[in-house]
């Protein structure tokens, strides 16, 4: 329960207070609950979609659902995306890029990256809104789960880009055992939802989930290598950027799947 509360505190704006001293080991163990928190945020998006659709048109509903996601996460990952792209655009060596990443002000490249991220998510959410209820709602929920699982993937595969910062608590500290548990939990949530849906789940849905998570994993392998080349490793900002990439990729996979099999 303590790990879950820390994860909820870290990944959302929910006002949670964890009693007692919080150690770095406690924070690391909170990564075990990342998929659960992602699932809860996804369910909140589902609920928002159902409520807003009673009043507003489809396009406005998709925009409001996206707004709920941004608000619930405190725009944390969008900030990481902005800082990462500003750093990538910075001319000079690795230290200058890392310095640019620490800068709290958003540059033009970072702002463009955020705009494209929000735009792509909005269009993809609007696209899957025309699908069946299960595909639509499962897409909303599990894009968030995939994004939080991607964070743990980066922690497992990467190494910290600098010795300071919050990221060093997680990055390079997640062992194979912990990563397998987190992966099993993410896939278990997906499989459990399909089982509960019964006949409402479309055919080959387990194949869809397996391929979707595999695509997210492959993308994060590439991102880890890119970050190692340009920054010397991972940081909290690059993990945030990976979250945004992974959410977009999962949504796009839902769209592609719907064209092929639905």
Is-contact 192 35, C-beta < 8 A? no
Task: Report yes or no: 151 and 174 within 8 Å, Cβ to Cβ.
Answer: no
Over 70: is that where the pLDDT of 262 sits?
no
- For the segment 146-150, the average pLDDT, to the nearest whole number, is 97
Please give the tally of structural domains in the chain: 1
Nearest-CA neighbor of 232 among 100, 99, 94? 94
Q: Which helix (H) or strand (E) holds 38?
A: helix 34-52
| pLDDT given for residue 3 in this prediction | 83
The pLDDT assigned to 35 comes to 97
The rounded Cα 214 to chain-centroid distance in angstroms is 15
Given a contact cutoff of 8 angstroms between Cβ atoms, the answer to whether 148 and 115 are in contact is: no
* pLDDT tens figures, 55-107: 999 999 999 999 999 999 999 899 999 999 988 888 777 778 877 777 677 77
Helix (H, G, I), strand (E, B) or coil at 33: helix
Give the pair of three-digit tokens for residue 246: 């992974």
| CA gap 251, 18 in Å, rounded | 33
Token pair listed for 253: 């996979």
High-pLDDT (> 90) share of the chain, %: 67
Q: Partners of 234 in the beta sheet?
A: 160
- Residue 20 in tokens: 């007692």
Quote the distance between the C-alpha of residue 60 and its chain's center.
23
pLDDT band at 53 (very low <50, low <70, confident <90, very high): very high
CB 96 within 8 A of CB 87: no
Question: Where in the sequence is the domain holding 136, given as residue range(s)?
Answer: 2-15+24-261
160: β partners: 234
* Across 164-178, average pLDDT: 86
Distance CA 217, CA 149 (A): 9
Does residue 92 come out as left (phi exceeding 0), alpha (psi in the -120 to 50 range) or beta? left
């Amino acid at each position: 329960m303590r790990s879950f509360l820390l994860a909820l505190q870290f990944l959302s704006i929910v006002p949670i207070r964890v009693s007692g001293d919080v150690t770095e080991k406690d924070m690391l163990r909170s990564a075990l609950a990342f998929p659960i928190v992602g699932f809860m945020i996804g369910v909140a998006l589902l609920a928002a979609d159902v409520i807003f659709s009673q009043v507003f048109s489809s396009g406005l509903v998709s925009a409001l659902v996206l707004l709920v996601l941004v608000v619930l996460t405190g725009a944390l990952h969008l900030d990481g995306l902005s800082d990462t792209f500003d750093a990538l655009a910075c001319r000079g060596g690795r230290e200058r890029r890392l310095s640019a990443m620490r800068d709290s002000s958003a540059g033009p490249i970072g702002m463009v990256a955020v705009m494209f991220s929000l735009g792509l998510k909005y269009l993809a959410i609007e696209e899957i809104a025309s699908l069946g209820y299960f595909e639509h709602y499962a897409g909303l929920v599990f894009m968030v789960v995939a994004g939080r699982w991607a964070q743990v993937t980066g922690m497992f595969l990467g190494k910290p880009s600098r010795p300071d910062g919050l990221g060093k608590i997680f990055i390079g500290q997640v062992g194979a055992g912990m990563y397998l548990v987190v992966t099993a939990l993410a896939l278990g949530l997906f499989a459990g939802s399909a089982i509960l849906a019964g006949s409402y789940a479309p055919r080959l849905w387990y194949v869809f989930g397996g391929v979707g998570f595999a695509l997210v994993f492959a993308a994060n392998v590439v991102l880890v290598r890119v970050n190692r080349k340009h920054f010397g490793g991972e940081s909290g900002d690059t993990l945030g950027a990976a979250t945004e990439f992974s959410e977009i990729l999962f949504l796009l996979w839902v769209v592609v799947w719907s064209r092929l099999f639905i």
